[in-house]
Chain A
């Protein structure tokens, strides 16, 4: 404290605030949303939703301005290296903002039907988004951990938001207990890392780790070394993050939490939270522990292989569409891990594009599930979609596109994302001359076929039967329809003409890809 006071003039540069302008805007909006909730009468709480959307829009504009003004001078460090704005962070922030906007848009009508239209909901979504955005630009273990907890805590509340629902409460409890546990493991790994490196700054940790690794090559007796401890730290970090992205064997919470949570929260949880956890994963493993690639790449590869298999096979037998999509999101976590395992330009491009596409298609799929929730009808079973093609052909067509994209068929964005993920693996395999990369890619592709089976089930019940589940109209709202339309348009555009997005992504992540390429031997 004294130290801080002594340096008051240099505590932080006010100009640094510009770096986190989008986050600041969101935070202010979230606080205002809380106030609005108290002032406005219940039946007008929907105004908060529009206000929050406006906030997200403003944050997006400010992000765009930031990108436009500093694109040439990246990366920018601020707050004594606590925050780093680079292409990676900008891209992830854009994904989070898209996710948040879609999440708000699909919630408005849904919360009315659930009878839980409260302004806090939107404030919580905004706070969670702030947490995600700091996860993308944090460059210090402390910042990263705090933003992770900010995100996680808001999600615990959001999952329990329909407080009169038993399922929702149960899901929140499970999610909270396991999430807190995993945060503990993560923190343990971080503390080990700090103990070894003597710093919480990722860049400095990176230097220390590289020094330790190069000083004690594996297989040579060089006396006492920090390397085993480093390995322990790495494993603890990896395990904590496996929890967050719901990778096997730490995936047990996901189906329960996804099924019990309000559907709009499930949508945001499965996209935003997962993308943010991947941002954290990429930051720590690439920037701080890149020199340990030889240790963590096989670990991640193995986990990815098991995750893809378990997620896909378990999804086949599900009857509840939210639970089915939960398993599908587990398997998608496995596919996304492949991008980290590949660790080259292709892999990272795949990671980014697939995360964006995944956000769009999962939001869309959950949006359709939301439209089936009407008064008196829960509508979250696969069978509730029976005959949707006749009742609401437009919605059925959109759901079909989301499912085909999740399956990775060409002309959809899902194909482009998967293409880059698999291509990155093959490229890495060719560069390192190791055959397990090929086997991993082959394994992932074979399991993709399994995923066709359950994605097609949705199409099957919607189109191939003559039975119609119920004749009540769907719960649609302009916001929901716009969100779905935007998602479909994005998926198709990325699928048909991905070139601009690929160019942008490759340009933005070039520094990161360069780090990945250094370890290439």
Chain B
């Protein structure tokens, strides 16, 4: 248990090396790479489940801490730990990895060795991002997650994959380099990269940031994370990357990589620069709302299913930002919940898009129609996933978005918060419009194209990899407390730093656990 987090980070990396080692054996078979990858990622998921035991409700300190000096002369440490915020994101990551590998089972035929190697490296880096408590280490993992993804999009992607991969790489690295400047500057002010130490120094008030310094630091961090989220108008890399990536790449991109941005905003921007967060809240909320509505409207007119889902991500992630910058407990808890639920639902949607693409090698909505007839299993499960993405009560999407809107309505981060909430609320309506309209044209109605009439329904593997996600959708929709209770203390910790003195808008922490209960009668 001592080095559990390190094990979770390293296990996929070891898995990657195992694949390479296996490939050097004389009697190797290319079809075995995926088995090795699957075994390691399942093992990784199973040991990551142990984390849940360590984080019970009300725990606010970091757990499972590993803290070793790494580069002594610059004070960089290997410091990892997990709290209520990162716990679920780590689990989401380790859960999505086996699913991503299973989804590539037959879809990936070329260069399997490097494909599974990159997937494994990516898994290690992503977990590292969520658990690093040292800013330099965080930057390291943040960048390290970029390179495997670049290859995944660039080698196994669609037609315009090279363009999309390079755009993805350049966009994200611009942001992260600015963040690096911010990290080094923080180091000169506080003399350490250690997140916990810096936070304690800030709390104690022994070293305070000058407003001008805080202004630039906030911008440097926020820029990096907003690109990753992506926040309007920095979102333009996302539709390309999502559309061109292979199915597994899209699942991970939507499921985990986007969360790095919102996680970073929550952990670092709100945690380290609370004053500037308050000052910037109107800007961030405005951009978030533009993103919600713009993403939804653009999604509505996409002729390509995958691009539609990609733009819906812009819209859904706007909700997360709105919740984070409402500075209310419900809003922020909702934002965290929405991160998870978006990972589950959008991940599932990308899987469905992958299934039909594998069968028909097209993603154009106009090429489909009436898929419910030849593929009943596909149709019914697809509808469930779509409804969860829309936010149907009893499914996961509802809890997050409802909490966010409750939180932002009562927020005093901006004036007339109800206007923002109402505008955001239209996003839910738009979501219903574009998803249902897409379903109508793809799944329902008569079979318009004869090529579709003989399509095979989902096989066992495909249904099997969807099952965990569908169960989660229901579970998260019905028992949100399981998740929210464990994150409440940590989220409140951030909220107390960032929130202005409560004037009635925010909930006292004792009431929190009841709030979600009322949502799911």
| Contact of A409 with B143 in the complex, beta carbons under 8 Å | yes
Return B39 CB to nearest CB of chain A, in Å.
Answer: 23
| Contact of A410 with B143 in the complex, beta carbons under 8 Å | yes
Name the segment of A120-128, A144-152, A260-268, A420-428 touching the other chain: A420-428
| Contact of B180 with A445 in the complex, beta carbons under 8 Å | yes
| Contact of B114 with A426 in the complex, beta carbons under 8 Å | no
| Contact of A464 with B155 in the complex, beta carbons under 8 Å | yes
| Contact of A449 with B177 in the complex, beta carbons under 8 Å | yes
Asked whether B178 is an interface residue with its Cβ less than 8 Å from the other chain, the reply is: yes
Main secondary structure of the interface of B (DSSP, over half): helix
Name the segment of B71-79, B280-288, B373-381 touching the other chain: B71-79
Asked whether B357 is an interface residue with its Cβ less than 8 Å from the other chain, the reply is: no
Asked whether B154 is an interface residue with its Cβ less than 8 Å from the other chain, the reply is: yes
**Among A390, A423, A449: residue with most chain B CB under 10 A:** A449
- Are A460 and B154 also in contact (CB < 8 A) when A410-B140, A426-B184 are? yes
What is the 8 Å Cβ interface bit string for chain B, positions 55-91, against chain A (1 contact, 0 not)?
0000000000000001111100000000000000000
Asked whether B232 is an interface residue with its Cβ less than 8 Å from the other chain, the reply is: no
Residues of chain A with a CB closer than 8 A to B174's CB: 446, 449
With the chains together, A446 CA to B169 CA distance in Å? 14
| Contact of A423 with B74 in the complex, beta carbons under 8 Å | yes
With the chains together, A389 CA to B147 CA distance in Å? 16
With the chains together, A445 CA to B139 CA distance in Å? 15
With the chains together, A426 CA to B220 CA distance in Å? 15
| Contact of A446 with B71 in the complex, beta carbons under 8 Å | no
With the chains together, A388 CA to B180 CA distance in Å? 33
Asked whether B165 is an interface residue with its Cβ less than 8 Å from the other chain, the reply is: yes
Other-chain residue from B73, B151, B180, B185 in contact with A463 (beta carbon distance below 8 A): B151
Q: Which of A391-416 contact B (CB under 8 A)?
A: 393, 404, 409-411, 416
Other-chain residue from A390, A422, A427, A453 in contact with B170 (beta carbon distance below 8 A): A453
The residue in chain B whose Cβ has the minimal distance to the Cβ of A346 is B74
- Are A452 and B188 also in contact (CB < 8 A) when A410-B139, A410-B140, A464-B162 are? no
Q: Which of B159-185 contact A (CB under 8 A)?
A: 161-162, 165-166, 169-170, 173-174, 177-178, 180-181, 184-185
| Contact of B144 with A410 in the complex, beta carbons under 8 Å | yes
Asked whether B53 is an interface residue with its Cβ less than 8 Å from the other chain, the reply is: no
With the chains together, A447 CA to B451 CA distance in Å? 51
| Contact of A422 with B184 in the complex, beta carbons under 8 Å | yes
Asked whether A430 is an interface residue with its Cβ less than 8 Å from the other chain, the reply is: yes
Residues of chain A with a CB closer than 8 A to B188's CB: 426-427, 430
Residues of chain A with a CB closer than 8 A to B154's CB: 460, 463-464
The residue in chain B whose Cβ has the minimal distance to the Cβ of A423 is B184
The residue in chain B whose Cβ has the minimal distance to the Cβ of A349 is B73
Asked whether B111 is an interface residue with its Cβ less than 8 Å from the other chain, the reply is: yes
Q: Which of B438-464 contact A (CB under 8 A)?
A: none
Other-chain residue from A390, A410, A453 in contact with B166 (beta carbon distance below 8 A): A453
With the chains together, A445 CA to B181 CA distance in Å? 8
Residues of chain A with a CB closer than 8 A to B166's CB: 453, 456, 460
Number of cross-chain contacts by CB at 8 Å: 74
| Contact of A499 with B111 in the complex, beta carbons under 8 Å | no
Asked whether A419 is an interface residue with its Cβ less than 8 Å from the other chain, the reply is: yes
Residues of chain B with a CB closer than 8 A to A503's CB: 72-73
With the chains together, A445 CA to B184 CA distance in Å? 12
Interface size class of A (residues with CB under 8 A): 20 to 34
- Are A464 and B165 also in contact (CB < 8 A) when A423-B74, A423-B184 are? yes
| Contact of A452 with B184 in the complex, beta carbons under 8 Å | no
Return B118 CB to nearest CB of chain A, in Å.
Answer: 10
With the chains together, A320 CA to B219 CA distance in Å? 39
The residue in chain B whose Cβ has the minimal distance to the Cβ of A495 is B140
| Contact of A411 with B140 in the complex, beta carbons under 8 Å | yes
Q: Which of A443-470 contact B (CB under 8 A)?
A: 445-446, 448-449, 452-453, 456, 459-460, 463-465
The residue in chain A whose Cβ has the minimal distance to the Cβ of B146 is A409
**Among B73, B111, B174: residue with most chain A CB under 10 A:** B73
Asked whether A502 is an interface residue with its Cβ less than 8 Å from the other chain, the reply is: yes
Q: Which of B169-221 contact A (CB under 8 A)?
A: 169-170, 173-174, 177-178, 180-181, 184-185, 187-188
The residue in chain A whose Cβ has the minimal distance to the Cβ of B177 is A445
| Contact of A506 with B73 in the complex, beta carbons under 8 Å | yes
With the chains together, A389 CA to B174 CA distance in Å? 27
What is the 8 Å Cβ interface bit string for chain A, positions 486-506, against chain B (1 contact, 0 not)?
000000000001110011001
The residue in chain A whose Cβ has the minimal distance to the Cβ of B216 is A438
Q: Which of A339-385 contact B (CB under 8 A)?
A: none
- Are A499 and B155 also in contact (CB < 8 A) when A427-B188, A452-B173 are? no
| Contact of B170 with A452 in the complex, beta carbons under 8 Å | yes
With the chains together, A464 CA to B155 CA distance in Å? 5
Residues of chain A with a CB closer than 8 A to B143's CB: 409-410
Other-chain residue from B70, B72, B161, B181 in contact with A464 (beta carbon distance below 8 A): B161
Return A175 CB to nearest CB of chain B, in Å.
Answer: 34
- Are A449 and B111 also in contact (CB < 8 A) when A410-B139, A460-B162, A464-B165 are? no
Return B321 CB to nearest CB of chain A, in Å.
Answer: 24
Asked whether A56 is an interface residue with its Cβ less than 8 Å from the other chain, the reply is: no
With the chains together, A446 CA to B150 CA distance in Å? 20
| Contact of A442 with B170 in the complex, beta carbons under 8 Å | no
Residues of chain B with a CB closer than 8 A to A419's CB: 74, 184
Return B143 CB to nearest CB of chain A, in Å.
Answer: 5
Return B151 CB to nearest CB of chain A, in Å.
Answer: 6
- Are A409 and B147 also in contact (CB < 8 A) when A449-B174, A456-B169 are? yes
With the chains together, A465 CA to B70 CA distance in Å? 38
Residues of chain B with a CB closer than 8 A to A446's CB: 174, 177
Other-chain residue from A390, A411, A449, A499 in contact with B73 (beta carbon distance below 8 A): A499
Residues of chain B with a CB closer than 8 A to A416's CB: 71
Q: Which of A467-521 contact B (CB under 8 A)?
A: 497-499, 502-503, 506
Residues of chain B with a CB closer than 8 A to A389's CB: 111, 114
The residue in chain B whose Cβ has the minimal distance to the Cβ of A457 is B166
With the chains together, A441 CA to B178 CA distance in Å? 11
With the chains together, A102 CA to B71 CA distance in Å? 28
Residues of chain B with a CB closer than 8 A to A449's CB: 170, 173-174, 177
**Among A410, A427, A463, A506: residue with most chain B CB under 10 A:** A410
Return B163 CB to nearest CB of chain A, in Å.
Answer: 10
Residues of chain B with a CB closer than 8 A to A445's CB: 177-178, 180-181
With the chains together, A99 CA to B170 CA distance in Å? 32
- Are A426 and B185 also in contact (CB < 8 A) when A460-B162, A498-B71 are? yes
The residue in chain B whose Cβ has the minimal distance to the Cβ of A418 is B180
Return B179 CB to nearest CB of chain A, in Å.
Answer: 10
With the chains together, A442 CA to B217 CA distance in Å? 13
| Contact of A411 with B144 in the complex, beta carbons under 8 Å | yes
Return A24 CB to nearest CB of chain B, in Å.
Answer: 35
What is the 8 Å Cβ interface bit string for chain B, positions 416-450, against chain A (1 contact, 0 not)?
00000000000000000000000000000000000
The residue in chain A whose Cβ has the minimal distance to the Cβ of B162 is A464
Residues of chain B with a CB closer than 8 A to A448's CB: 177
Residues of chain A with a CB closer than 8 A to B173's CB: 449, 452
Pairs A–B under 8 Å by Cβ, sample size 30: A410-B143, A410-B144, A419-B74, A419-B184, A422-B184, A426-B185, A430-B188, A441-B181, A445-B177, A445-B178, A445-B180, A446-B177, A448-B177, A449-B173, A456-B169, A460-B154, A460-B162, A460-B166, A463-B154, A463-B155, A464-B161, A464-B165, A465-B162, A497-B70, A498-B71, A499-B71, A499-B72, A502-B73, A502-B74, A503-B73
With A452-B173, A459-B150 known, 17 other A-B pairs at CB within 8 A are A389-B111, A409-B144, A410-B140, A411-B140, A422-B181, A442-B181, A445-B178, A446-B177, A448-B177, A449-B173, A460-B166, A463-B151, A463-B154, A463-B155, A464-B155, A498-B71, A503-B72
